[in-house]
Amino acid sequence: MVDGFVSEPIEMVCMRRVKIRGAEATYHAMSRVVGGAHLFGHREREVLRKMLWQVADFCGLEILTYCVMSNHFHVLVRVPNRGAVSDEELLRRFKVLYPKPTKYQTAEFARLENSLRAGDADAVAIRERLLSRMCDLSEFMKTVKQRFSIWFNRNHGSRYGTLWADRFKSVLVEGKGNALQTMATYIDLNPVRAGLVEDPKDYRFCGYAEAIAGGLAAAEGLRIIWAAYADGASRRNVSRASALQLHRESIFGKRATDSGIREICRKQALRVLEEEKGCLPRATVLRCRVRYFTDGAILGSAEFIRSFAADRQREQALRHLPKVNPLRGAEWGDLAVIQSLRRHVFG
């Protein structure tokens, strides 16, 4: 395997879920409102956007980019390997979840701080309980969705019951180079695919727009995405500003002004891709729905995909090793997925 995954077990949660334990990993995670109802207006999307950052800070995760839509959200997140967390940092992270604490929560902070200082039995239990929620994708998504559901139902008095459909979906993404950069571009193009804006910088609720508007955390996420080549070597002098420029080139394509590329409509693109089995510029294809990025299970280079084949075979009880499935429809470079998508890849 690569990137230090060889000695660590891989937990296959279901056919489309892969979870790494014991090593840093990057995921594209997404969740949809039950029934696909368009429930989120500007206020709801703003609250969910803030909760993503708050819960990521609490869990010790890095948000690289994200997009909150009216009935679902996407987040590209880097999950570090578990490490030591000081009592001071543990208390700080806990407080992040309650930016406007009530009197009860303020008292709870004091009780927690006293227990940690005393090192009593309560402190051990508190540490274990809080640490179990950190450096874990499932806990991050669970906390975001639960906290937002409570807020949403409380602020919409006529609504009750489940807000989110089923469990979240996720794709394990190779955390460097082409795979990471292409996935980030796809996520930030969500509002363009939905016909809400022509330029994602004009859509307030995505990582690229937040970075353009001066959000330091969002800009740093994009800098991380563009700071490493496919072989892991660092690019020289990649500032946040230069990362934004590289990301913009990825969004629009270096050939975006060529005749016919910008003007091609989604219907024409889908006909070329699905009916004619043709190939289009990457920037054009990314304006269509591409299931590789939501249903491919693992996205990365052929070498990265092969490194998980034996684990996939064992966990899914397959007769043969899963194949490396190169992406089609555009000049994707070395990108491949492990989940074979035979029909309706584009939509």
Q: Distance (Å, rounded) from C-alpha 225 to C-alpha 252?
A: 17
Degrees to nearest 5, angle at CA 137 with 189 and 75 = 10
| pLDDT computed for residue 145 by the predictor | 97
| pLDDT computed for residue 152 by the predictor | 95
**Whether this model's pTM surpasses 0.85:** yes
| pLDDT computed for residue 259 by the predictor | 37
| pLDDT computed for residue 89 by the predictor | 93
**Into how many domains does the chain fold?**
1
126 part of a folded domain: yes
| pLDDT computed for residue 126 by the predictor | 83
pLDDT band, residue 258 (cuts 50/70/90): very low
- pLDDT tens, residue by residue, 20-73: 888 999 999 999 999 999 999 999 999 999 999 999 999 999 999 999 999 999
Q: Distance (Å, rounded) from C-alpha 118 to C-alpha 139?
A: 28
- pLDDT tens, residue by residue, 70-121: 999 999 999 999 888 998 999 999 999 998 899 988 988 888 888 888 887 7
Residue 43, amino acid: R
Q: Distance (Å, rounded) from C-alpha 22 to C-alpha 83?
A: 10
Mean pLDDT of the chain: 87
Q: Is 71 exposed, middle or buried (0-12, 13-18, 19+ CB in 10 A)?
A: middle
| pLDDT computed for residue 15 by the predictor | 45
Look-up: residue for tokens 């064992």?
314
Where is average pLDDT lowest: 21-30, 197-206, 304-313? Answer: 304-313
CB contact at 8 A, 33 and 39: yes
Q: Distance (Å, rounded) from C-alpha 179 to C-alpha 185?
A: 10
Where is average pLDDT lowest: 61-75, 169-183, 225-239? Answer: 225-239
114 part of a folded domain: yes
Residue 12, pLDDT above cutoff 50: no
337 part of a folded domain: no
| pLDDT computed for residue 271 by the predictor | 80
16 part of a folded domain: no
Q: Torsions phi, psi of 78, nearest 5?
A: -100, 125
Residue 212, pLDDT above cutoff 80: yes
Q: How far is the CA of 213 from the CAs of 146, 207, 268, 276, in angstroms?
A: 29, 10, 33, 41
| pLDDT computed for residue 238 by the predictor | 85
| pLDDT computed for residue 186 by the predictor | 98
324 part of a folded domain: no
| pLDDT computed for residue 162 by the predictor | 86
pLDDT band, residue 198 (cuts 50/70/90): very high
Q: Which long-range contacts (CB under 8 A, 24 or more apart) does 16-21 make?
A: 16/169, 16/170, 16/171, 16/295, 16/297, 16/339, 17/169, 17/170, 17/297, 18/170, 18/171, 18/172, 18/297, 18/298, 18/308, 18/312, 19/137, 19/138, 19/170, 19/172, 20/79, 20/172
Give the residue numbers spanning the domain of 103. Answer: 87-131
186 part of a folded domain: no
| pLDDT computed for residue 8 by the predictor | 37
Residue 200, pLDDT above cutoff 50: yes
The two tokens of residue 84 are 């030591």
The two tokens of residue 16 are 């489309």
336 part of a folded domain: no
Q: Distance (Å, rounded) from C-alpha 91 to C-alpha 109?
A: 8
Determine the average pLDDT of the residues in 156-175.
Answer: 87
pLDDT band, residue 125 (cuts 50/70/90): confident
How many of the other CB atoms lie within 10 Å of CB of 288?
20
pLDDT band, residue 183 (cuts 50/70/90): very high
CB contact at 8 A, 252 and 94: no
Sign of torsion, CA 150 151 152 158? positive
| pLDDT computed for residue 264 by the predictor | 66
123 part of a folded domain: yes
Q: Distance (Å, rounded) from C-alpha 95 to C-alpha 101?
A: 8
| pLDDT computed for residue 234 by the predictor | 66
| pLDDT computed for residue 228 by the predictor | 76
The two tokens of residue 196 are 């809400």
- pLDDT tens, residue by residue, 248-257: 999 998 754 4
